[in-house]
Amino acid sequence: MVKASYKRYVLEFKQASGTSRGVLKTKETWFLILDSNDKQGIGECALFRGLSADDKPDYEAKLKWLCTNINLEQKTLLQELSEYPSIQFGLEMALKSLESQNKFELFPSSFTNGEDSISINGLIWMGAEAFMKRQIKEKIELGFRCIKMKIGAIGFETEIDLIKSIRKEFSSNEMELRVDANGAYMPSEALEKLKRLSELDLHSIEQPIKQGQVEQMAELCNKTPLPIALDEELIGIFDFEKKEKLIETIKPQYIILKPSLIGGFQGSDTWIDIAENKNTGWWITSALESNIGLNAIAQYTYSKQSALPQGLGTGSLFINNFESPLAVVKGHLKYKKDLKWNFNL
C-alpha cells in the first residue's frame, strides 16, 4: 500500500523576473510525497498561475482526491487527471521516484553518472536595456553558446539594437540566438517584424502571436523567413486528435515541450511522436520548477538524446530552492556526483 500526502511551497525569486505577462516575484508549487515500505517518492506538481491549463479553483481538491485514491492503477489516475497536466507530471515523477533505488535518480544514465551533460540555452529576462545587456555579457562570460532572449516588452527597435550588438561580436556559427515573444505581436504586424528579426541570423522565435489564433499562426508559419516555435499554443490541448490537428494545421517549424504544462513524460512523448511524424523539430524547456522538477525534466530530456540546446533552467533563480547536484558548466547542465541533495519541506 502507498500512502500519499502533498504540501504547498512558494519559491521566491532572487530578483523580480520580467516577462511580457508581467513581473514575477514568487512562484507557487506543490509537492506530492509517496511512502511505501520504508521508501519515499517525491514529485513536483509545478502549477504556473496564469499560464497552466490547470490553474483552477479546485486544484487543491484534485490533489486531495489523488492522495485518497493513490492505490488505483496509474493509467486510471492519469486519465482522471487529464485536465491537470502539472498534477499528472507530479504523479509520474513521484511514482518513478518511489520505484527507483535512489529517489532522485529517475532515469539512470551517463548524465546522472556525471559522465555527460546537456547543452542548454542561457535565458535573458526582460527588463531595462542596461539590465538585459548585463545579462547577455554574463551569459557569454559563462560560456553559453546559445542565448534565448525574452522580447516584446521594451520596444522593438531597442530589442533589434540589442541583438545587433551581440551579432557584431558573435556570428551565428559562434552564438545561436533564440527569441521568445510570448505572444507580444499583433497578427497584422508580426510578419514584418519577423522579416526584420530574420536579418539578424536568429535560430527561431517562440510564439510571435498569442495562442489560439490558429489560422493566423498557420499563415505566419507558411510565410515566415524565421523559424517559428510553438510554446503556449500547446497548453490546454488534452485530446490526441486535437494535438495532431493543431500540428497539421499550423505546420510549425518547431514545438517547445514544457512537461509541467503539457502532462509530464507521457504528454511530452505524445507531442514528440506527432512532431516527428510531421517533420517538426522540438526541444524541451523547464517552466520555473524547483530543483526537484528540474531534475526530473533534465533526466527525461537526456534520455531523448536531442542534438539541440535545451531550454532547461539552472535552479539559480530562487533564494529558497533545494540544494542539488545540478550545476551549469560552460553552457551545459551537469550532474555533479560530489554535490548532495538537501530536500527539506
Please determine, for residue 126, whether its predicted confidence score (pLDDT) is greater than 80. Answer: no
Q: Rounded to two decimals, what is the model's pTM?
A: 0.95
Has 139 been annotated as catalytic?
A: no
Locus of grid cell 530536500: 343
150 is catalytic: yes
Catalytic residue among 150, 193, 210, 243: 150
pLDDT digits (tens, 9 = 90+) for 20-62: 566 788 999 999 999 999 999 999 999 999 999 999 999 999 9
What is the per-residue pLDDT across 227-274, written as a single tens digit (0 to 9) for each? 999 999 999 999 999 999 999 999 999 999 999 999 999 999 999 999
Assign 19 a pLDDT band (cuts: 50, 70, 90): low
What are the backbone angles phi and psi of residue 123, rounded to the nearest 5°?
-95, 130
CB 290 within 8 A of CB 93: no
175, exposed or middle or buried, with CB in 10 Å at 0-12, 13-18, 19+? buried
H or E element at residue 143: none
Indicate the domain borders of the chain: 3-99, 118-335
Instruction: Give the pLDDT of residue 18.
Output: 62
Per-residue pLDDT, 334: 96
Class of domain 3-99: alpha beta
103, 193, 258, 334: the active-site residue: 258
118-335 topology per CATH:
TIM Barrel (3.20.20)
